[in-house]
Amino acid sequence: MSHVPRKRADTLSHDWRPSASLESISKRAALLQQVRAFFHAHRVMEVETPVLSAAGNTDININSFTVHYDGPHAPPDGQMYLHTSPEYAMKRLLAAGSGDIFQIARVFRNGEAGRRHNPEFTLLEWYRLGMDQHALMAEVEALLRVLMPGLGKTNRLSYRQAFIEHAGIDPLEVEQQALQACAERHGLGDIVGLDKDDHDAWLDLCMDQVVVPALGEGLVFIYDYPASQAALARLSEEDARVAERFECFINGVELANGFHELTDAREQRQRLLADNAHRRLTGRAELPVDEHFLSALQSGLPDCAGVAVGLDRLLMLMSGATAIDEVLAFAVDRA
């Protein structure tokens, strides 16, 4: 073996111990049961899809882990990817006629570690036929109220309202300079390495550091994200500047991201190719586009809405933990 062990074998280490308390580990078990019971009662079928995929996620702000596979059906270069979300595969099931489905999946995102991030985490993802973003927000709330009975009142506001109210700017109209001035006004200090023209990144920064902290306690849904941040959501028919995408926050912690799903295969392909073009421009590797997923859309995805909820973050909120390590048996530093 050529690699050097990280720790000397004779160093006494306590890192074999879980970073979560045993109480927190049993809370997770109870949470998983409650989630399954909720969907069983709502007649939503549990599914499993591959963690290992021949296609990557082209999303410009999400980095896949690559792994090497040799063996039957290996791609020519042997390169495969750990999924960053089960979204593509679940939509293939929907296109195949599965009906309403949910999945509790371990997902992987390279480079993400911090107080609320671990490079592998647990996503609850589900899809409902015939629902739009508002109907799905109601179902997310229903589930959260089962899991957190003490949850206070709900607030729902559009991305635009949230920015106007808490940052004093209209995010759909704001000029780049005024957006930067807003960041400065809110004490974000010097910002190093952020391209002056990367409008969406500046919006992300203001959203995360100015708007979200001002949302206050309790459950808040933000909907109608800017069209430039549509991801896999369809654009609004009433206002082309926004996409039918929502997020949910509890006590300022981002918890869920949902879409009224884009079903147009051509538009979806254009978005994936645009992602890859952006990757090329910023000197990063392009990723193979998931042709199975696009073919499924081509054959017809039923009108549906889908959402992903971070279960580790939910556990943090349920147990009053301030760091994700406290709810993971073994966070990345002990993995």
- Report the residue number, 26 or 228, with the smaller CB distance to other proteins: 228
Question: Considering the complex, what minimum distance in angstroms separates the CB of residue 176 from other proteins?
Answer: 15
Question: Considering the complex, what minimum distance in angstroms separates the CB of residue 257 from other proteins?
Answer: 5
CA distance 57 to 110: 12
CB half-sphere exposure, 226, CA atoms < 13 A: 17
Rg from Cα positions in the chain: 21
- Report the residue number, 175 or 198, with the smaller CB distance to other proteins: 198
Question: Considering the complex, what minimum distance in angstroms separates the CB of residue 291 from other proteins?
Answer: 23
Question: Considering the complex, what minimum distance in angstroms separates the CB of residue 254 from other proteins?
Answer: 6
- Report the residue number, 165 or 198, with the smaller CB distance to other proteins: 198
First to last CA, the chain: 20
> 3-state DSSP call for residue 186?
coil
Question: Considering the complex, what minimum distance in angstroms separates the CB of residue 203 from other proteins?
Answer: 8
- Report the residue number, 54 or 120, with the smaller CB distance to other proteins: 120
- Report the residue number, 59 or 325, with the smaller CB distance to other proteins: 59
Q: Please state the three-class secondary structure of 23-67 as a single string.
A: HHHHHHHHHHHHHHHHHHHCCCEECCCCCEECCCCCCCCCCCCEE
Cβ atoms within 10 Å, residue 1? 4
Handedness of CA 245, 188, 331, 314 (dihedral sign): negative
The three-point CA angle 289-290-292 to 5° equals: 145
Question: Considering the complex, what minimum distance in angstroms separates the CB of residue 299 from other proteins?
Answer: 26
- Report the residue number, 267 or 302, with the smaller CB distance to other proteins: 267
- Report the residue number, 28 or 186, with the smaller CB distance to other proteins: 186
CA distance 188 to 102: 39
Question: Considering the complex, what minimum distance in angstroms separates the CB of residue 224 from other proteins?
Answer: 15
Query: Is residue 248 within 8 Å of residue 256, measured between CB atoms?
Result: yes
Which chain residues interact with other proteins by CB under 8 A? 59, 61-62, 111-115, 117, 187-194, 198, 200-201, 204-205, 207-209, 229, 231, 247, 254, 257, 310
Give the DSSP letter of residue 79.
Answer: E
- Please report, for residues 16, 148, 317, the alpha-carbon distance to residue 324 in angstroms, rounded to integers and kept in the order given: 18, 18, 10
Query: Is residue 159 within 8 Å of residue 223, measured between CB atoms?
Result: yes
